[in-house]
Copies of this chain bind each other. A is one copy, B any other.
Amino acid sequence: MADAQVRPIRIALIGAGTVGSKVASLMLEQAEDLEARSGAPLVLVGVGVKDATKSRPGIPKELITADVPGLLAKDIDIVVEVMGGIEPARTHILDAMSRGISVVTANKELLARDGATLAAAAEKNNVDLYYEASVAGAIPILRPLRESLVGDRVKKILGIVNGTTNYILTKMDETGASFKDALSEAQKLGYAETDPSADVEGKDAAAKAAIVAQLAFHTRVTIDDVYCEGITKVSASDVKAAKEMGFVIKLLAIAERLDDESIVVRVHPAMIPRSHPLASVREAFNAVFVEAEAAGSLMFYGRGAGGAPTASAVLGDLVAVARNRMSGRRGPGESIYADLKVKPVSEAMTSYYISLQVADKPGVLAQISQKIADNNVSIQTVRQDGLENDAQLVIRTHKALEKDLAKTLEDLRNLDAVREISDYMRVEGED
């Protein structure tokens, strides 16, 4: 037990939504455990909110204030920022750091947009900036990348980091529903918001991809570096085709090291084999699959969102930062020493599934195969089915440059013998 003479660690919470309320109530309920594990009592000094008149169940009324600068002036040691969004969160965080206050945040949007400013302020003021809760909720993924794998070389990361889209894709896979119907169901059940665009267009996943890639490759990555394609165009027939081939469609956040030591970071739907560990990540669960040179394949799985899981990650950081305060030092700061080149998605190596309707006459397959070969793409498998006067061709390519694959699609579309490219999708998780 901590010594009775130990000075308490004074905490200010900014934001009292789902996550903030849970953080506050867990801090009060588990005060004794948190004290024993931190080495000092953790005292919640106040909770900064936009509207102080609103009732906040579980948070004592006298702690609530709309005057955040006033709260930060109260000899605070650690600020927990869970209000989200760029402003005023950034101003509050920078204000706190300039006062020597360490920061725990779950703000993926701000970190992916302007992490450099926050990291520089943390460095300058010699304070901590911890943000485990910003990616994949309760799943410890940043700390393992930052610490456990720090002696290894990460090759590739494949993550399911958005629960809403994974829920929708799971329903489409299980029931054959259309995107629209699966989205409605997700909205009814509270898995998707009324305006679902940040989730279904992949922006939320892209912010997380930037944060994870920066840690994994010791290189500055912002959301502007991330290629982003959502799931709004995934159709019931795509899902069905994947199923028939033994695949499942997931929205993946992918960060990978290329042969020339550059990296590419991208978010898009992809087919993965049903035998892949990520394939069994269903409903609103998240998981991050990491391939490292010495460690091999690792996977981290759990709840990626929700008040309690996110609060668990926040409290883990809070105890770590409190321990650092106690020992008068800060944890490892930002690491971007490797400074690898971040290339656009056109330089990624990937493989495609392409389904096309073609005229069923002699020489068509030869013509198509030639066009594909002309673009430096090689065919892995091809299947042809009769379809009245037409034929359906299903082609799986080997890995090739994304830009060569895009050019291949364009060239195929321009062939007279090709009636339509019905479907195409990237394939991951096969190597």
A: which residues have CB within 8 A of B? 1, 22, 26, 30, 33-34, 36-37, 132, 137-140, 143-144, 147-153, 218, 277, 280, 292-303, 306, 308-309, 311-320, 323, 327-329, 332, 335, 337-338
Contacts and interface: CB of A to CB of B under 8 A. Distances in A.
Contact of A316 (B30, B148, B315): B148
Contact of A301 (B1, B298, B318): B298
A62 to B, nearest CB: 24
A36 to B, nearest CB: 4
A306 B295 CA distance: 9
B138 A316 contact: no
Consensus secondary structure, chain A interface:
mixed
Contact of A147 (B137, B153, B316): B316
B140 A140 contact: yes
Copies in the complex: 2
28 contacts: A36-B335, A37-B151, A37-B335, A137-B295, A138-B294, A138-B295, A140-B140, A140-B147, A140-B148, A143-B144, A143-B147, A150-B315, A151-B312, A151-B318, A294-B309, A295-B302, A296-B302, A296-B303, A296-B306, A296-B308, A297-B302, A298-B300, A298-B302, A298-B303, A299-B299, A299-B302, A300-B300, A301-B301
Nearest 5 interchain pairs by C-beta: A151-B315, A140-B148, A138-B295, A294-B312, A298-B302
A295 B280 contact: no
A312 B152 contact: yes
Contacts of A313: 148, 295
A143 B1 CA distance: 22
Contacts of A337: 1, 36-37
Contact of A303 (B149, B277, B295, B309): B295
A34 B151 contact: yes
A312 B149 contact: yes
Contact of A151 (B143, B292, B294, B314): B314
Nearest to A37: B150
A149 B140 contact: yes
Contact of A30 (B26, B139, B151, B319): B151
A152 B313 CA distance: 8
B301 A277 contact: yes
Nearest to A36: B337
Given A26-B294, A34-B151, A299-B299, 8 more contacts: A30-B151, A138-B152, A147-B319, A294-B308, A294-B309, A298-B300, A327-B329, A328-B329
Contacts of A315: 150-152, 294
A30 B149 CA distance: 13
A311 B147 CA distance: 14
Contacts of A329: 327-329
Nearest to A307: B294
A28 to B, nearest CB: 13
Given A297-B302, A298-B302, A316-B147, A153 B30 contact: yes
A329 to B, nearest CB: 5
Contacts of A303: 295-298
A295 B22 CA distance: 12
A157 to B, nearest CB: 14
Contact of A36 (B139, B149, B218, B314): B218
A329 B330 CA distance: 11
Given A316-B147, A319-B151, A320-B150, A295 B277 contact: no
